[in-house]
């Protein structure tokens, strides 16, 4: 991406596009964490009344999780301050995902990310690969608290759907020759995509040195243009597993309740 984002976007490289629904629908959009967010619903609701609440949820978690804000909870923690309750909760989740993925998802690589040219500087913990997904899950909680059940919400490439069936399009990672977008229908599920075709450095052999790091070496993963999309029950898990699978490669096992879709050249 040409601009730096507040949460670096490690696991968010797909674009969600909604096709025309059978029922009348309304779209609400905004920006947070350096990305565009969208909320679509076919329920009768005053969408503008929801905007301040959605913005407040996203702003809160950006302030907790950002490595680009020097005054965020995470940045202060990386400088040695104790973690507050909200940050501690996400850190515990990240540790669990680190174990679940066999170490392929690793949130402790801020210095290596910076050395590769993708980080904001400093060392310690980087929660980009789970942060936006976690924030999407919290927006989902907010919408349900407001009585909204039928919706789909996206923040960059992290998507979460409520009740109903929502077609989401995932673009090809091979520009100009990768075929049409893949359409996935979500119902009560989340989706996240990791890829190397938007943040990466092309190499002479046709691979891309990506912003996704291999924890085993601490260096960027080298692959041809490709992406992996994970469908899971929540966006945080989908984000972390998409990152982990991009590190591990096609054919790697995932939990039975999840699905993975690879696109491009592997």
Taking only the tens place, the pLDDT of each residue in 129-168 is 999 999 999 999 999 999 999 999 999 889 999 999 999 9
Distant-in-sequence contacts of 20-23, Cβ < 8 A, 24+ apart:
21/166
- Residue 193 three-state SS: strand
Where exactly are the structural domains of the chain?
26-264
Those residues whose C-beta lies under 8 Å from the C-beta of residue 33, and which sit 6 or more positions away, are: 5, 6, 7, 58, 62, 66, 131, 132, 135, 155, 156
Taking only the tens place, the pLDDT of each residue in 86-136 is 999 999 999 999 999 999 999 999 999 999 988 898 999 999 999 999 999
Report which DSSP code applies to 86: H
Residue 59: the pLDDT is: 98
CATH number of 26-264: 3.10.520.10
Global pTM value: 0.89
Those residues whose C-beta lies under 8 Å from the C-beta of residue 96, and which sit 6 or more positions away, are: none
């Amino acid at each position: 991406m040409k601009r730096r984002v507040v949460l670096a976007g490690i696991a968010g490289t797909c674009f969600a596009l909604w096709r025309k629904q059978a029922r009348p629908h309304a779209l609400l959009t905004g920006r947070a964490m350096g990305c565009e967010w969208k909320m679509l619903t076919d329920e009768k609701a005053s969408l503008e009344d929801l905007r301040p609440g959605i913005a407040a949820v996203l702003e809160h978690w950006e302030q907790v999780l950002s490595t680009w804000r020097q005054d965020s909870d995470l940045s202060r923690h990386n400088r040695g301050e104790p973690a507050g309750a909200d940050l501690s909760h996400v850190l515990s989740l990240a540790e669990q995902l680190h174990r679940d993925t066999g170490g392929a998802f690793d949130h402790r690589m801020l210095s290596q990310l910076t050395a590769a040219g993708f980080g904001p500087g400093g060392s310690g913990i980087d929660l980009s690969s789970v942060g936006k997904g976690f924030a999407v899950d919290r927006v989902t909680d907010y919408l349900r608290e407001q009585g909204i059940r039928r919706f789909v919400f996206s923040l960059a490439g992290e998507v979460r759907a409520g009740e109903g069936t929502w077609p989401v399009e995932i673009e090809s990672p091979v520009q100009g020759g990768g075929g049409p977008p893949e359409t996935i229908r979500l119902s009560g599920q989340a989706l996240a995509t990791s890829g190397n075709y938007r943040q990466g450095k092309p190499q002479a052999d046709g691979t891309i040195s990506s912003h996704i790091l291999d924890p085993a070496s601490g260096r960027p993963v080298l692959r041809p243009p490709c992406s992996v999309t994970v469908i899971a029950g929540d966006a945080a898990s989908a984000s972390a597993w998409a990152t982990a699978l991009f590190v591990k490669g096609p054919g790697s096992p995932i939990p039975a309740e999840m699905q993975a879709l690879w696109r491009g050249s592997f």
